[in-house]
Amino acid sequence: MSSRTPLAGHRSRNRTRAALAAVLAGAVLLVGGIAQADTLEELQSQRQANESEQERLSSEMEGTDASLQTVYLELTRIANEIPIAQAEVDQAVEDLAAAERHQTSVDDRLTVAETEATTLTGEVEESQAKIASTEDGIGELARSTYRGGDGLTALRVVFDAGSPEEFATRTSAVNSAMRSQTDVLDELETTAATQRNSQSRLDAVNVRIGELKVEADEAVVAADEARDAAQDRRNDLDTLQTQETAKQAELETYQDTIAVQQEQIATDNANLDAEIQAIFAAQAAERARQAEEKRKADEAAAAAAAAAAQAERERQAAAEANRGSGGGAPAPAPAPAPAPAPPASGGGAGLIPPVPSPFHVTSPFGMRTYPINGGRYMHNGTDIRSACGNPQVSAANGTVVGVRPARGNGTHGNQVLVDHGVINGDSWVTVYNHLSRFAVSNGQSISQGQTLGYTGMTGAVTGCHVHVETWRNGTPINPESLPGWNRTN
């Protein structure tokens, strides 16, 4: 949880209700907005960006009721997911349309091929019938000629002609018959060639029909799959929209809780601020006490030195008097008093982060906008990504002045406060919240880099992370301004 300093008092419950109503109206739930994406790859990138945004929102909602955080974060996740789901629906519908167009194209080509096959089959059958009929005629003519029937032959034309005119007439008839037979044979060959060509084309068309039927079957399967995928995407979108409506209704039930939680945050942070100011006041009082003791010691030392000097003068005067009356040599002067020891150092040369640097900051020090109602507040801490159970170490040498268990510690959870005293002329205190467990006890002297506790999610938070505060001379500062505090993002 983060320590926060209210800027202008608490917001009223009515203002909280109005702000929440604006949230429930819709668009502001889309934190940062969803950029229009052209491809599914871009949508996936947007989904990853949404996950990072969820992490930031989670940090910014520290201190509020964990159930409220869960509802709001889930609502924003759903709201951010809906445009992506809609784009996936659009893509699935486009894929379905393409699959159906392909299926129609294949069906059309198959119909054309089957029509062509029917035509070619008719041509082949017609050619076969014509060939059969012609072959029958030729066979009958051959049989008739072989039997020597009444038909004309070249010999009969010679022997039976009664005159040259009759011979010429009969010769002409024989020639005409022979030409007819030749024409029949030529026609038979042409018909046979036509039949072979038609059969070859029919065979090729039948092969293409077989291929098109396979393609048609595959197109049907593809179209069915695309149709199912489009329906699944629609169902996903419908589910998200239903969930969004339910979460909006659930969030609305937290209207009063939001105001109460913000008041609790302000109270918890005011108490922490007072405790830290008391530590700095105790540091100042201790420094004043030490200064007063030093002043008294210096005065006592000065008085003792003056008394010793006076005694020395008196001794020397007495010695002079003794020499004048024949006395012995003067006594040696006493050794000078030792110089006072220098004051103890206030700790290490600088503060170090509680987890190794560089680190990933999920929510920085500074002003925040409360996601639900838009309220502005000061985030005194720095939130750093850290897995549950990771050790957190002390920023510098010091004394543990607070080990606060989560129960009864408001929104902070398990908390450790360390008084580092004076470092390079400044007084320092550090605070560590949400620890899963402690590794130190109250009043314990610790050294820089020593483990204080372990990363957790106690208090009003929804995920494990580091929350560290650095206070200098009674004022919280951004630790990223310190040497060695380097972030990766």
Among 95, 88, 90, CA closest to 224:
95
Question: Measured between alpha carbons, how far is residue 125 from residues 15, 202, 209, 244 in Å?
Answer: 91, 11, 20, 69
List, for residues 255-271, the tens digit of each pLDDT value: 667 667 667 777 777 88
**8 A C-beta contact, residue 378 and residue 4:** yes
- Is residue 38 classed as helix, strand or coil in its secondary structure? coil
List, for residues 206-223, the tens digit of each pLDDT value: 999 989 999 889 989 988
How does residue 340 score in pLDDT terms, banded at 50, 70 and 90? very low
Q: What is the pLDDT of residue 154?
A: 57
Q: What is the pLDDT of residue 347?
A: 39
Q: What is the pLDDT of residue 343?
A: 44
| Helix or strand (DSSP H, E) at 469 | strand 465-472
Q: What is the pLDDT of residue 146?
A: 59
Options 1.20.272, 2.60.120, 1.10.150, 1.10.287; CATH for 93-246 is: 1.10.287
Q: What is the pLDDT of residue 70?
A: 79
- Whole-angstrom distance, CA of residue 335 vs CA of residue 134: 154
Q: What is the pLDDT of residue 58?
A: 63
pLDDT at 7 exceeding the cut of 50:
no
pLDDT at 24 exceeding the cut of 70:
no
Q: What is the pLDDT of residue 78?
A: 86
Helices 13-25 and 164-252 meet at what angle, rounded to 10? 180
How does residue 348 score in pLDDT terms, banded at 50, 70 and 90? very low
Strands (E), 320-364: 361-363
* Lowest mean pLDDT, pick from 139-148, 298-307, 329-338, 463-472: 329-338
pLDDT at 88 exceeding the cut of 90:
no
Strands (E), 207-326: none
The CATH 1.10.287 domain(s) of the chain lie at: 93-246
| Amino acid found at 63 | G
Among 234, 227, 224, CA closest to 87:
234
Q: Which residues are registered as beta bridge partners of 437?
A: 454
List, for residues 112-162, the tens digit of each pLDDT value: 999 988 988 888 888 788 778 777 777 766 666 555 554 445 556 556 656
Q: What size, in residues, is the chain? A: 489
- Whole-angstrom distance, CA of residue 22 vs CA of residue 345: 55
What is the CATH code for 256-318+351-489?
A: 2.70.70.10
**8 A C-beta contact, residue 35 and residue 23:** no
| Helix or strand (DSSP H, E) at 281 | helix 255-324
Looking at residues 200-209, what average pLDDT do you find? 89
Lookup: tokens for 123: 């041509």
pLDDT at 9 exceeding the cut of 90:
no
Query: Could you tell me which residue, 61 or 120, shows the higher pLDDT?
Result: 120
Q: What is the pLDDT of residue 11?
A: 45
* Lowest mean pLDDT, pick from 29-38, 167-176, 297-306, 427-436: 29-38
Looking at residues 321-331, what average pLDDT do you find? 62
- Vertex 258: Cα angle to 255 and 263 (nearest 5): 135
**Mean pLDDT across the chain:** 78
Q: Please give the DSSP secondary-structure letter assigned to residue 400.
A: E
- Whole-angstrom distance, CA of residue 445 vs CA of residue 420: 10
- Whole-angstrom distance, CA of residue 466 vs CA of residue 478: 15
How does residue 69 score in pLDDT terms, banded at 50, 70 and 90? confident
Q: What is the pLDDT of residue 176?
A: 64
Q: How far apart are the first and last CA of the chain?
A: 21
**8 A C-beta contact, residue 382 and residue 59:** no
- Whole-angstrom distance, CA of residue 260 vs CA of residue 269: 14
Q: What is the pLDDT of residue 8?
A: 38
Q: What is the pLDDT of residue 159?
A: 61
Q: What is the pLDDT of residue 1?
A: 47
The CATH 2.70.70.10 domain(s) of the chain lie at: 256-318+351-489
| Residue 244 burial by Cβ neighbours in a 10 Å radius (0-12, 13-18, 19+) | buried
**8 A C-beta contact, residue 414 and residue 406:** yes
Query: Could you tell me which residue, 3 or 449, shows the higher pLDDT?
Result: 449
Share of the chain above pLDDT 70, in %: 69
**8 A C-beta contact, residue 472 and residue 428:** yes
Q: What is the pLDDT of residue 44?
A: 66
Q: What is the pLDDT of residue 4?
A: 44
pLDDT at 30 exceeding the cut of 70:
no
CA 161 to mean position of chain CA atoms: 112
Lookup: tokens for 372: 């639900």
Query: Could you tell me which residue, 119 or 58, shows the higher pLDDT?
Result: 119
pTM (2 decimals)?
0.52
Among 87, 102, 91, CA closest to 222:
102
**8 A C-beta contact, residue 417 and residue 431:** yes
How does residue 178 score in pLDDT terms, banded at 50, 70 and 90? low
pLDDT at 295 exceeding the cut of 70:
yes
Cα-based torsion angle of the residue sequence 132, 137, 140, 142 in order, rounded to the nearest 10 degrees: -100
List, for residues 438-482, the tens digit of each pLDDT value: 999 999 999 999 999 999 999 878 789 999 999 999 999 999 999
